[in-house]
Amino acid sequence: MPSKRRLRWAALPVGVAAAVALAGCTPTELHGYLPGFVEDGTAATNQTDRVASLWVNSWIVLLAVGVITWGLMAWAAIAYRRRKGQTGLPVQMRYNMPIEIFYTIVPLILVLGMFFFTARDQTAIEAKWDDPDVEITAIAKQWAWDFQYDGEEDDNADAVWTMGIQAQPDADGNIDQEQLPTLVLPVDKKVTIDLQSRDVIHSFWIIDFLYKKDMYIGKDNSWSFIPTRVGEYAGKCAELCGEYHSMMLFNVKVVEQDEYDAYLESLEQAGNTGDITDAYDRLANYPGTTAQNDSEEGEE
C-alpha cells in the first residue's frame, strides 16, 4: 500500500495540472459559457459578473453534492449487493439517528446558504440609483417596444422618444436588424430603466446583461445598472405575450456620451418630444384609470 508521502507527491502534479488548466480557461469558460463577456473579460454591465458568479458557484456546489450523492449510491449498491447463495430480504435497519440528523442538517445548510447568496446578490442588483445619470422608460406593447428618454421638466415635456414595430422577417425568415426598435445607452453612466406595459404581461430581457424583469399594466418595475462596454446587444421579450411573441425583438447600443447626446438631439429635431407613457395604453380598466372613472361618473 502506498505511503502518505507518496500519495502527497502523486497529488502535487495533479494539482499543478489543474491550476494550469484553469489558468488557460477563457473568460467565457470561467463564467460558465454565459453571454455578456468578451475575450479580455470585460463584462457588459456592472452587475454581469455578480450574476455569472452566482450561477457558476451554484453549479459547482450542486455538482459537488451530486458527485457525493452518486458516489454513496454506487458504494451502497456494490457493498450491499446480494451475494451468491443469499436468499430472502437483508436485515432491515431503522432509526439510525446520526444518519437521519446528517441528511436533515446538510440539505438545510445548503438551502439556507444558496438562499443567502441569492438574496444578497438580488438585493444589490435591485438597488435603485438615488440620482441616475440617465432615466429611460421602456414601454412594451404587442409586439414591439417604445423607448422614451425622460427629461427634466415636471410634465416630461422635454422627453424624447422612439416608437418601434415588431420584427419583419423575409421569405427565408431573416430579420432586418435595422428595422428593430433600438435602445441607446451611454457607457459608464448610471442608468435607470422604468419598465411599463401597454397591454399584457411582457418581460424586458437584454441577453448579454444576464437579467430580465417582468412588465405588466398597473404596476411599474425598474432596473438600475451601469453599462460598462461599448457595443451592440440583442434584446427580446421573455414572456409569452401572444401570437407574435417571437417577433418582439429590439437592439441595444451602448455608446460614448457624445454619441448619446447627438442621438437625443436628433430625436428632438425630428419632433419626437413629449411624454408618451400613457398615451397609447390599450387596457384602461384597472383601478384609478380614466375608463373606470368615466363609467362611474356616467352612473351618477
Are 256 and 187 in contact, with CB atoms under 8 Å apart? yes
Fold match between domain 9-81+92-126 and domain 134-269: no
Q: What pLDDT is recorded for position 288?
A: 53
Task: Enter the C-alpha cell of residue 120.
Answer: 444578497
Residue 234 phi, psi dihedral angles, 5° rounding: -100, 140
Q: What is the pTM of this model?
A: 0.77
Q: Among 273, 290, 203, which residue's Cα sits nearest to residue 241?
A: 203
Are 188 and 226 in contact, with CB atoms under 8 Å apart? yes
Residues ≥6 apart with Cβ < 8 Å to 50:
121, 124, 125
Return the HEC string of 221-238. EEEEECECCCEEEEEEEC
Gap between the Cα atoms of 27 and 283, Å rounded: 45
Q: Where are the domains of the chain?
A: 9-81+92-126, 134-269
Are 45 and 225 in contact, with CB atoms under 8 Å apart? yes
Are 192 and 128 in contact, with CB atoms under 8 Å apart? yes
* Residue the block writes with cell 428595422: 179
Residues ≥6 apart with Cβ < 8 Å to 136:
147, 148, 149, 150, 183, 185, 191, 192, 193, 194
Gap between the Cα atoms of 211 and 126, Å rounded: 11
Number of CB atoms found within 10 A of residue 244's CB: 13
State yes or no: pLDDT of 126 exceeds 60.
Answer: yes
- Identify the CATH class of 9-81+92-126: mainly alpha
Number of CB atoms found within 10 A of residue 93's CB: 7
The string of pLDDT tens digits covering residues 4-56 is 555 555 555 655 555 545 555 676 677 666 777 777 778 899 999 899 889 88
Are 177 and 158 in contact, with CB atoms under 8 Å apart? no
Looking at CATH, the fold of the domain delimited by 134-269 is given as: Immunoglobulin-like (2.60.40)
State yes or no: pLDDT of 278 exceeds 90.
Answer: no
* Residue the block writes with cell 451468491: 84
The string of pLDDT tens digits covering residues 182-230 is 999 999 999 999 999 998 999 999 999 999 999 988 787 899 999 999 9
Residues ≥6 apart with Cβ < 8 Å to 152:
158
